[in-house]
Amino acid sequence: MSGPVKNNERTRIYDVAAAAGVSVATASRALNDTGRMTEETRERVKQVAAQLGFRPNAMARGLLGKRSFTIGLLTNDTYGRFTLPLMAGISEAPVDRGVSVFLCTIEDDAALAKVHVDALLDKQVDGIIASGRRVDRRLPVDLSNLSVPVVYAFTEGPDDSVTFVSDDAQGSREAVQWLVSRGRRRIVHITGPESFASVQVRARAYQAVIGEQAEIHHGQWSEARGHEVVARLWDGANTPPDGIFCGNDQIARGVVDALRERGVTVPDDVSVVGFDNWEIIAAATRPPLTSVDMNLRELGREAGLTVLALAEGKEVAPGIRCLPCQLVLRQSC
Amino acid sequence: MSGPVKNNERTRIYDVAAAAGVSVATASRALNDTGRMTEETRERVKQVAAQLGFRPNAMARGLLGKRSFTIGLLTNDTYGRFTLPLMAGISEAPVDRGVSVFLCTIEDDAALAKVHVDALLDKQVDGIIASGRRVDRRLPVDLSNLSVPVVYAFTEGPDDSVTFVSDDAQGSREAVQWLVSRGRRRIVHITGPESFASVQVRARAYQAVIGEQAEIHHGQWSEARGHEVVARLWDGANTPPDGIFCGNDQIARGVVDALRERGVTVPDDVSVVGFDNWEIIAAATRPPLTSVDMNLRELGREAGLTVLALAEGKEVAPGIRCLPCQLVLRQSC
DNA sequence: GCAAGATGAGCAAACGTTTTCTCAGCCAAA
DNA sequence: TTTGGCTGAGAAAACGTTTGCTCATCTTGC
């Protein structure tokens, strides 16, 4: 008639301790590989725990004020183009350590963002990763004075934050250099609106390789825009280009389609490279698009590892980390 | 020198109670709108709490064995095509009640799935939503005897489970009927492999409208497949169709492209309808695709509300719930 | 004027861990 | 033998809430 006798659903550490004939304290230490005890005792406890299928209650653990084994991912990319690869990378490392990820999609809605962030803080997340669909825009919420570490991925953070972005300059350089190496001499760049930071970075990298012959066409991020520019280039007085580096895959697909319709052969007459390596577009283009992949998954992985390190109290130098892009070769050049 | 004097980061309910001049118990009851007390007391406590920016610690709450205000979303759709709209819907209602969603992407990997599910159970989630990229495939993990409620969305669950799917039959019917109402007389169906349940459902609905003149072409889910079938139809001996209902938007886009290349005008000569309403494809097609939208967000919303209801102990009758699709009109018919 | 019921509010237990003390036993050095 | 350090292990506090129980006070009906 003494001691807790609850026959609840889950086995608690109390049950393990009782079964192993030790105290709760010893059981806890045995399972966490801390404290001093005979190797034999430790082993016995572990075995009993495994046998009973014991899994520690994360709530109780979290209550002690230590880790909650939980991180939050904030994003305004409801479409998922960037978020899901990122997400896959983020949870890759953490899940092995028992860490789960809260995904919060706030859609440029400051109030919604606040609700989500508050909920995350209530749940004592170990850290937050902020991510967006556009590198040069901040999320509509201030994360700078939170009690938990914050890491930015694919979105702009405050100056002293840890930020992960893809190395668009390197990716663009490789793409253009690849065109050059294929013997292309007149290479133009068709890309998005000048107001995007990534547009500027990519354009500068293109310019650095091409020099003064550089020719940049800004406009919408759409297939239609690809058609438009091709029409202008081929119907104009100047010699049309033999290489086209596009700011994203949608433009590139428009370009390739427009060229095919004009009877211009890709890649024989003109080589085309896209950016984003959006499988659904790049692979369906005829011919399939060579494109720059931003390695979002890897980016997510790094961000996940970093926020975990910060949560564990490790020091991480603030600054912007550029992760390399990779040129994915297909038949368009 | 008496009582807790900790000056920690977060304000606890203890601080609120002290500031309001009541006991912790009263404070708790005041904030939760339970128990008996003067309206004046309740109001005062609430006011003090608001002033101090008090937010209850979710861990402590969860430890009491009640709700954890947390649900898990399991999916094997790493690409995000289906998951993100679903996710947006799922968290819509819950977040207002302070519920956050763990997103777990398991990629047909049973071991990974188990790791994730275990992590979710450790964290005492109130419920789990299982979702997949294919309606007729089960996730590689058994969720049937969990201690928390499970709801299936866009994936197959056990017989006695609560499952949400889109009403593909109704969507297809409306699409085909729309073609008929536009005066189309010879309508064919180009769709994916026969092994997909959704392919069968959509095909049957098509057949039910068209009758014995039905003509179904099974094959890959790709743009290339659209080209292929158009070539076969227009180069064959029979009169080509004047209406085409496609099993997904990729096929539809291939069809429209192929027709344009042959000089067949869409929608004047032939009307085309797609399925999925995948914006990136449907909107970029020339002309833009009319397509069946599965209302994934709404589906997610229902699933979220249902799992919450179950978590609160409400009874929900098992069975398959079909949510209506919606025909989104664009210029392709 | 008194018993009985209603009302407002506090004490303390409970949730399942981790961790700080504390302590008994043992061994070696003096 | 005594002393002191080391080792293995347990008792109990702590984390921040919620809630069952208790109790004093107030109201009401006789």
Please check whether residues B95 and B202 belong to one and the same domain: no
Confidence of residue B5 (pLDDT cuts 50, 70, 90): very low
pLDDT for the residue numbered A136: 79
Q: Would you say residue B92 lies in a domain?
A: yes
Confidence of residue A7 (pLDDT cuts 50, 70, 90): very low
CA of A172 to C1' of C7 (A): 75
Question: Does residue A332 contact residue A292 with C-beta atoms inside 8 Å?
Answer: no
Burial of B326 (0-12, 13-18, 19+ CB in 10 A): middle
B31 touches strand D (CB under 7 A): yes
Residue B205 has pLDDT above 60, yes or no: yes
Q: Would you say residue B2 lies in a domain?
A: no
pLDDT for the residue numbered A1: 34
CA distance A24 to B146: 26
Q: How many CB atoms lie within 10 A of CB A268?
A: 8
Q: Would you say residue B183 lies in a domain?
A: yes
Decide which of B65 and A180 is more confident.
Answer: A180
Number of separate helices (H) and strands (E) present in chain B: 12, 12
Note whether A98 contacts B119, CB cutoff 8 Å. Answer: yes
Please check whether residues B161 and B300 belong to one and the same domain: yes
Please check whether residues B288 and B175 belong to one and the same domain: yes
What are phi and psi for residue A75, nearest 5 degrees?
-150, 150
Please check whether residues A161 and A302 belong to one and the same domain: yes
Structure tokens at B69: 């205000």
Q: Would you say residue A238 lies in a domain?
A: yes
Please check whether residues A213 and A195 belong to one and the same domain: yes
Torsion of CA A63, A65, A71, A75, to 10 degrees: 100
Please check whether residues A116 and A149 belong to one and the same domain: yes
List of long-range contacts for A150-159, beta carbons under 8 Å, 24+ apart: A150/A307, A151/A127, A151/A303, A151/A306, A151/A307, A151/A310, A153/A86, A153/A90, A153/A129, A153/A299, A153/A300, A153/A303, A154/A82, A154/A86, A154/A296, A154/A299, A155/A130, A155/A131, A156/A132, A156/A197, A157/A130, A159/A318
CA of B27 to C1' of D24 (A): 19
pLDDT for the residue numbered B144: 86
Note whether A78 contacts B95, CB cutoff 8 Å. Answer: no
Confidence of residue A37 (pLDDT cuts 50, 70, 90): confident
Section A79-103 average pLDDT: 85
Pick from B123, B131, B145 the residue to mutate for testing the A interface (most A CBs within 10 Å): B123
Encode pLDDT of B265-289 as tens digits: 989 999 999 999 999 999 999 999 9
CA distance A184 to A245: 11
Q: Does A87 touch chain B (CB under 8 A)?
A: yes
Residue B95 has pLDDT above 80, yes or no: no
| Among the partner residues A84, A101, A112, nearest to B79 by beta-carbon distance | A84
What does the mean pLDDT of chain B come to?
90
Q: Would you say residue A173 lies in a domain?
A: yes
Reduced to 3 states (helix: H, G, I; strand: E, B; else coil), residue A169 is helix
CATH assignment at residue B202? 3.40.50.2300
Residue A102 has pLDDT above 90, yes or no: yes
Please check whether residues B176 and B235 belong to one and the same domain: yes
pLDDT for the residue numbered A95: 77
Please check whether residues B194 and B160 belong to one and the same domain: no
Q: Does A231 touch chain B (CB under 8 A)?
A: no
| Among the partner residues A99, A105, A118, nearest to B55 by beta-carbon distance | A118
Section B204-221 average pLDDT: 95
Q: What percent of chain A has pLDDT over 70?
A: 98
| Among the partner residues B9, B98, B119, nearest to A122 by beta-carbon distance | B98
Calculate the alpha carbon distances from A24 to A15, A39, B124 in Å: 9, 17, 21
pLDDT for the residue numbered B83: 87
- B27 closest CA partner among B50, B45, B48, B39: B45
Residue B7 has pLDDT above 60, yes or no: no
Please check whether residues A113 and A230 belong to one and the same domain: no
CA of B310 to C1' of D18 (A): 22
Sign of CA dihedral B72, B75, B80, B84: negative
| Among the partner residues A83, A99, A119, nearest to B100 by beta-carbon distance | A119
pLDDT for the residue numbered B137: 81
Decide which of B66 and B327 is more confident.
Answer: B327
Q: What percent of chain B has pLDDT over 90?
A: 70
Q: Does B119 touch chain A (CB under 8 A)?
A: yes
Calculate the alpha carbon distances from B238 to B234, B235, B241, B242, B291 in Å: 8, 8, 9, 12, 27
Question: Does residue B169 contact residue B206 with C-beta atoms inside 8 Å?
Answer: no
User: Strand C-proximal residues, CB under 7 Å?
Assistant: A 4, 6, 8, 10, 12-14, 24-25, 28-29, 31-32, 34-35, 54-57, 60-61, 63-64, 66; B 21-26, 35-38, 41, 60, 63-65
Question: Which nucleotides of strand C are protein-proximal, with an atom < 7 A from a CB?
Answer: 7-12, 14-20
Residue A8 has pLDDT above 60, yes or no: no
Residue B125 has pLDDT above 60, yes or no: yes
Residue A2 has pLDDT above 60, yes or no: no
**Which residues 135-174 on B are within 7 A of strand D at the CB atom?**
none
Q: Chain B, 241-300: which have a CB under 8 Å from a chain A CB?
A: 250, 253, 257, 261, 279-281, 284
Encode pLDDT of A211-255 as tens digits: 999 999 999 999 999 999 999 999 988 899 999 999 999 999 999
- B86 closest CA partner among B171, B153, B152: B153
Give the domain extent around A111: 70-165+296-323
Q: DSSP class of residue A136?
A: T
B185 touches strand D (CB under 7 A): no
- B104 closest CA partner among A98, A198, A270, A115: A98
Confidence of residue B151 (pLDDT cuts 50, 70, 90): very high
CA distance A131 to A155: 5
User: How many domains, chain B?
Assistant: 3
CA distance A115 to A129: 16
Chain A partners within 8 Å of B105 (Cβ)? 84, 87-88, 91
Q: Would you say residue B128 lies in a domain?
A: yes
CB-based contacts of A156, cutoff 8 Å, min separation 6: A132, A135, A136, A137, A138, A163, A197
CA distance A97 to A107: 30
pLDDT for the residue numbered B1: 34
Please check whether residues A266 and A236 belong to one and the same domain: yes
Q: Would you say residue B328 lies in a domain?
A: no
CA distance B124 to B233: 56
The DSSP bridge partners found for residue B190 are B217, B246
Reduced to 3 states (helix: H, G, I; strand: E, B; else coil), residue A158 is coil
CATH assignment at residue A24? 1.10.260.40
Structure tokens at B136: 């007729």
Q: DSSP class of residue B56?
A: -
CA distance B94 to B308: 8
pLDDT for the residue numbered B314: 87
Note whether A59 contacts B103, CB cutoff 8 Å. Answer: no
pLDDT for the residue numbered A98: 83
CA of B305 to C1' of D18 (A): 25
pLDDT for the residue numbered B136: 79
Q: Is the peptide bond before B240 cis (omega within 30 degrees of 0)?
A: no
pLDDT for the residue numbered A188: 97
Please check whether residues A278 and A178 belong to one and the same domain: yes
Q: How far is A163 from chain B (nearest CA, A)?
A: 23
CB-based contacts of B101, cutoff 8 Å, min separation 6: A102, A103, A104, B70, B71, B72, B73, B87, B90, B91, B94, B304
Q: List the single range of A50-54, A140-144, A202-206, B171-175 with lowest mean pLDDT.
A: A140-144
pLDDT for the residue numbered B93: 78
Decide the pairing of beta strands A127-131 and A150-153: parallel
Question: Does residue B150 contact residue B130 with C-beta atoms inside 8 Å?
Answer: yes
| Among the partner residues A81, A103, A124, nearest to B58 by beta-carbon distance | A124
Confidence of residue A116 (pLDDT cuts 50, 70, 90): very high
Decide which of B201 and B83 is more confident.
Answer: B201
Please check whether residues B231 and B303 belong to one and the same domain: no
Note whether B63 contacts A58, CB cutoff 8 Å. Answer: no
Confidence of residue B146 (pLDDT cuts 50, 70, 90): confident
Q: Would you say residue A328 lies in a domain?
A: no
Section A279-305 average pLDDT: 94
